[in-house]
Structure 1
Amino acid sequence: MYLVTIITPIYNGEKYLMRYSEQVNAIGYKNLQIIVVNDGSKDKTSEIVKKIC
């Protein structure tokens, strides 16, 4: 099984992150790497990403 990497830049996306996480998990691919690039968000984006990890 190949490693698939999804790179997601995000800025002030706290209200979208939980849904994004659910959608990525729904893919069901086991060998998946997600890289989230926080571009200086002023909201709780970093905290939410840490919880999701």
Structure 2
Amino acid sequence: MPNIKVSIIIPVYNVEQYLRQCLDSVCNQTFKDIEIIIVNDCSPDNSLEIIKEYQRKDERIVLVDLKQNVGLGFARNEGMK
């Protein structure tokens, strides 16, 4: 992985219909020295499968898969860890 200059934290819960657009936007940025930390907050939809699909295509994606729903603030804090 290149020298990371920016970390992008994306908390995910029940956003399947928007997730591809979000990840396409982040992955296609012209600035490449980023890590993309996606925190799946135990989402009940197909968000996790979409995240794993993108993770296979882009090595900058880091998945944090929480085992129980903890809410947006806590999910962001987990991503910062």
TM-score normalised to structure 1 length? 0.85
Give the SS at the match of 2:32. Answer: coil
Alignment match, 1:37: 39
Tell me the distance in 2 between the aligned counterparts of 1:28 and 1:17. 20
| Larger RCO of the pair (alpha carbons < 8 Å, separation 6+) | 1
CA-CA distance at 1:3 after TM superposition: 1.6
Max Rg structure: 2
Identity of aligned residues (%): 40
TM-score normalised to structure 2 length? 0.59
In the alignment of these two chains, the number of paired residues is 53
Q: Within 5 A, what are the aligned runs for 1:11-50?
A: 11-50=13-52
Alignment match, 2:11: 9
Please list every run of 5 or more consecutive structure 1 residues that lacks an aligned counterpart in the other structure. none
CA-CA distance at 1:25 after TM superposition: 2.6
State the Cα RMSD in Å: 1.4
Please list every run of 5 or more consecutive structure 2 residues that lacks an aligned counterpart in the other structure. 56-81
CA-CA distance at 1:51 after TM superposition: 0.2
